[in-house]
Amino acid sequence: KIDHQSTMGAWVGRTALKNGKGVMVNWKYLDGAGYLPPDSEVRKMRKN
């Protein structure tokens, strides 16, 4: 890889109330690596 970009993911879901408290429902973890452009696209976007 040409960069040291973070591939931190995120828990994504909907919020709801359960027993008067906020909870996340219908959640899933999305890995950040799947959302970075490939190296070939990064090179095209750079002006160097």
Residues 6 or more apart from 14 whose CB is under 8 A from it? 24, 25, 26, 27
Boundaries of every domain in the chain: 10-45
Average pLDDT of the segment spanning 20-43 = 93
pLDDT of residue 5: 78
List, for residues 11-28, the tens digit of each pLDDT value.
999 999 999 999 999 999
The DSSP secondary-structure symbol of 22 reads E
Cβ neighbours, 10 Å, residue 36? 14
Calculate ∠ Cα 23-25-28, nearest 5°: 120
Q: Evaluate whether 28 touches 38 at the Cβ level (below 8 Å).
A: no
